[in-house]
Structure 1
Amino acid sequence: MRTGRSNSGGADGLTMAALVASAVALAAFVAVERGPRRRPLLDLSLLRRPSFAALMVAGLVLTAAAFAHYGYTMLWLQGPLGLSPVRAGLAVLPMAATAFVVAGASGRLLARVSPRVSIAAGMLLIGVGLLLQTAIAPGSEWPVLAPGLTVTGVGVGLAIPVLVSAVLAAVPPERAGMASGAVNTCRQLGFALGVAVLGTIFTSAGDGRSPAGFPDGLDAVYLTAGLAAVATAALVALLVRDPSRPAVPERERAAVR
């Protein structure tokens, strides 16, 4: 008869195998991209640009922090709280609704504000919103999440609309398509990594099988994601540069002289 321990060992073995395969795949990708290719999938020299590198991190952390925790939040809403799937969806609606309204209403304002400021402020608000969600405790009901979800929604509405344009401004025009693909890949990767990392934290900090353990697990998830978002806001503020004005053509400078 199989025991729980043997099943756990098999799962750990599969996890380690997946991590090793991922490391090998990453090393192979870097080796190929650094080779003598005329049209690399990703020009790795772009990562030496502080603005570009910081924005890649922002794309990854934004998705991981703002969205990856929803699976575990839904477990709490539909498990211990006993909400139906529809009611659980409505409980987290403040984030999506706020992001939609802010992104639509602030379009003209964001056009006048530096992308660095908008993204840094958005990441900061995402972090603050997640830290507000750490108010969850045994006996809490779903409204305890509403303030944090609303603040997070404001941050998402400020950061996401200008993220791609900021990335495009951080690279030469001929690398625009490459940069756009890179930041979208980082966003997708952020969600996948966020689910995995936050899931590990959720199960380590609280017993997911016990209703009393859900708040402890979620508290650790929100704290980790919130701190990551705040740190990324600081990174963007420090490293991302505002787009420079286009250089004056040589013939115009000669005419002035």
Structure 2
Amino acid sequence: MLDPELLRHLRFRAATAGSLVLGAGMIGMASFSPAMVQLGYGRGLWAASLPAVAWAGTGVVTSLLVRRIPHPLEGPRPVALFLVVVAAGQLLTWGLDAGSPLWRVVLPFVLAGLGTGVLNSLLGREAVAAVPPDRAAMGSGANNTARYLGAACGITLFVTVATHTGADLYAGWNHAALVAAALTLLGAAAIALSPRGA
């Protein structure tokens, strides 16, 4: 169980909300991208996996390089900032149609991967550093739970919007991309403007 007192810590709230938003906004989009490329563009499995691989691969490399930054990132502002980077990548996928080249999907996912990689490193550390030492496991568990809860909701929302709005899959993707980016930006704004706790 989560100790409600932990929510009084601004850094813990930012880390938990950041994980929830990243899961809801980006993981749903990445999960649906292979279907979009395969069904929308008629590409094979390898091409269909490129956007998600570009996102995940960039995220892994970036998260490993973050430790080389001389000034550690901490607090809600970097969380909000890199959520905006993720949202920028999401927005760049808007406007796809049958004539769009595959790189129009892949490159935005690379940008989103940069933001995701920094957040992957930052959010886990913040969730543990922002709580008392004897609550470190609780902080880490809450962070992971928020990420997967957000992902479950985000995948459902993205697939529903993409497949039930618009005249075709491209239009559905464009609507879903706007919804995902809006969620990410709203989360970034909420984190940036979150009042300080005790």
TM-score grouping bracket, smaller chain normalisation = 0.7 to 0.9
- The one-letter code sitting in structure 1 at the alignment partner of 2:193 is L
Residue of structure 1 equivalent to 2:146: 186
Q: TM-score, normalised by structure 1?
A: 0.69
Name the CA distance, whole Å, in 1 between partners of 2:72 and 2:30.
Answer: 33
Name the CA distance, whole Å, in 1 between partners of 2:30 and 2:55.
Answer: 11
**Which residue of the other structure, out of 189, 192, 198, is the alignment partner of 1:237?**
192
Q: TM-score, normalised by structure 2?
A: 0.87
Name the CA distance, whole Å, in 1 between partners of 2:70 and 2:143.
Answer: 20
Residue of structure 2 equivalent to 1:223: 178
Residue of structure 2 equivalent to 1:102: 62
Distance verdict in 2 for CA 1:110–1:116, change over 3 Å = farther
Distance verdict in 2 for CA 1:127–1:110, change over 3 Å = farther
Structure 2, unaligned runs of 5 or more: none
Bigger Cα Rg:
1
Structure 1, unaligned runs of 5 or more: 1-40, 208-212, 242-257
Aligned pairs for 1:239-254 (under 5 A) are 239=194
What secondary structure does 1:89 align onto? Answer: helix
Residue of structure 2 equivalent to 1:45: 5
Paired residues in the alignment total 196
RMSD: 2.1
Name the CA distance, whole Å, in 2 between partners of 1:197 and 1:85.
Answer: 24
Residue of structure 2 equivalent to 1:19: none
- Cα pair 1:64 1:194 within 8 Å, conserved: yes
Residue of structure 2 equivalent to 1:60: 20
Q: Percent identity?
A: 30
The one-character-per-residue Cα deviations of 1:79-134 (angstroms, maximum 9, x if unpaired) are 13121112211344322232222222231217533343432222110011001110
Name the CA distance, whole Å, in 2 between partners of 1:168 and 1:115.
Answer: 12
- Cα pair 1:120 1:159 within 8 Å, conserved: no
- Cα pair 2:73 2:122 within 8 Å, conserved: no
